[in-house]
Structure 1
Amino acid sequence: MSINFCSKCGSTVEVRSIGGADRLACTSCDYIYWGNYSIGVGALIIKEGKILLVRRAQEPGKGYWTNPGGYIEQQEPIEETIVREVLEEAGIHAKVTGIIAVRDQPREIHNLYIAFEMEYLSGEPIPDDEEVDEAGFFTLEETESMNVAGFTKWLLDVAFQAEGKGLIKEPLAIKALERYGLFRV
């Protein structure tokens, strides 16, 4: 993606060497275009030996089974994002217990995807009939005959074969860092 104007002041941008790389920088103010990024989140929720999956009702991935998830909103803490997405897509109340996997996908819009291990709290799987048209808890064996997306197959392996706890949510609130999502080993 190419930008021609500064998103801070509206002036034109030019290519400059900054930090050892060519970057777009404003000709009038201090704005530097660092790139275009998106952050996706996904939930891995196991209840009684079964994992929550949803079937995509729209592109990308229409017809594939995936774990519920989505993209963060600009000022939404990432932990709230995944709780919201699970509830919206599958009608399930769950809470974050840790981060279990991360995918880094450099491309035109550089994507970072964070998979959260979550504890099931309540609810029955109900699809939103917008983004997903089916939702349910499935055993690993049941998923073998389903149209599961490739990346989700990897996440299923992570969820069922995980030996450690991954990064766990910081249990201590640090007043100076309110609204930070802190996770540690």
Structure 2
Amino acid sequence: MKANYCLACGHALETRDIDGTDRRACPSCSFVFWGDYSIGVGALVVKDDKVLLVRRAQEPGKGFWTNPGGYCEQLEPLEETIVREVQEETAVLAKVKSVVALRDQPRSIHNLYVAFAMEYVEGEPSPDGMEVDGAGFFSLAEMENMNVAGLTRWLIDIALNGQGHGLVVDKDPIVPLDGHGLFRVVTRA
């Protein structure tokens, strides 16, 4: 889809070379349409060496088992998005431990997917009946006979065999940056 009108003032956009790339820009104000982007999040919740999975009831991925997740709302911090998505899809409460993987998928709507290692807190997996029609904790042996999506298989390997701690929430940054979600590598002395 091509942007035709300025999102700031409503004026018709023109195509302009900005730093060597043709972009849609407003001749009336300073607005530049940088592109279409979406941010998805996924949860890796492990309990007793089993991973929380859901079976998708809708496209994309209908019928595949995946890790719980979804898309970020415009004003929602990533940490809150993933906690909400896990609880909505599975009725399981989990809390963020770290960011353990990223998937970058450039396409017409450029998608960035952030995978979180999460700590199980409470709840028995129960599908929401809309987005997902199955939910549970599964072992690798059980997954052998399941229709597990490729990206999810990759993420399960990270969840069960990852060597590092990933990027953890920086709750006390050296510079206060209100409104920022900050994640960093933990260094050990």
- Pick the TM interval, shorter chain: over 0.9
Is 2:117 the partner of 1:122? no
TM-score by length of 2: 0.95
Shift of 1:157: 1.1
- Per-residue CA deviation, residues 46-95 of structure 1 (Å, 9 max, x unaligned), is 00100000000111111100000000000011100000000000001010
Moved over 4 A (4+): none
Counterpart in the other structure of 2:47: 47
Counterpart in the other structure of 1:5: 5
Q: Secondary structure at the match of 1:146?
A: coil
Shift of 1:180: 2.1
Partner amino acid for 2:27? T
Shift of 1:178: 3.0
Q: Secondary structure at the match of 1:176?
A: coil
Shift of 1:174: 6.6
Structure 1, unpaired ranges of 5+: none
Counterparts of residues 24-173 of structure 1 (less than 5 Å)? 24-172=24-172
Partner amino acid for 2:140? L
- Per-residue CA deviation, residues 3-59 of structure 1 (Å, 9 max, x unaligned), is 111111111111111122111101211100000000000000000100000000111
Determine the C-alpha separation between the residues in 2 that align with 1:97 and 1:19: 39
Determine the C-alpha separation between the residues in 1 that align with 2:41 and 2:174: 24
Determine the C-alpha separation between the residues in 1 that align with 2:102 and 2:70: 14
Counterpart in the other structure of 1:19: 19
Q: Are residues 87 and 22 of structure 1, via their aligned partners in 2, closer, same or farther at CA, if it must alter by over 3 Å?
A: same
Q: Secondary structure at the match of 1:41?
A: strand
Determine the C-alpha separation between the residues in 1 that align with 2:4 and 2:94: 43
Determine the C-alpha separation between the residues in 2 that align with 1:21 and 1:171: 37
Once superposed, what is the RMSD of the aligned Cα atoms?
1.2
Determine the C-alpha separation between the residues in 2 that align with 1:174 and 1:77: 20
Q: Secondary structure at the match of 1:177?
A: coil
Determine the C-alpha separation between the residues in 1 that align with 2:149 and 2:10: 42
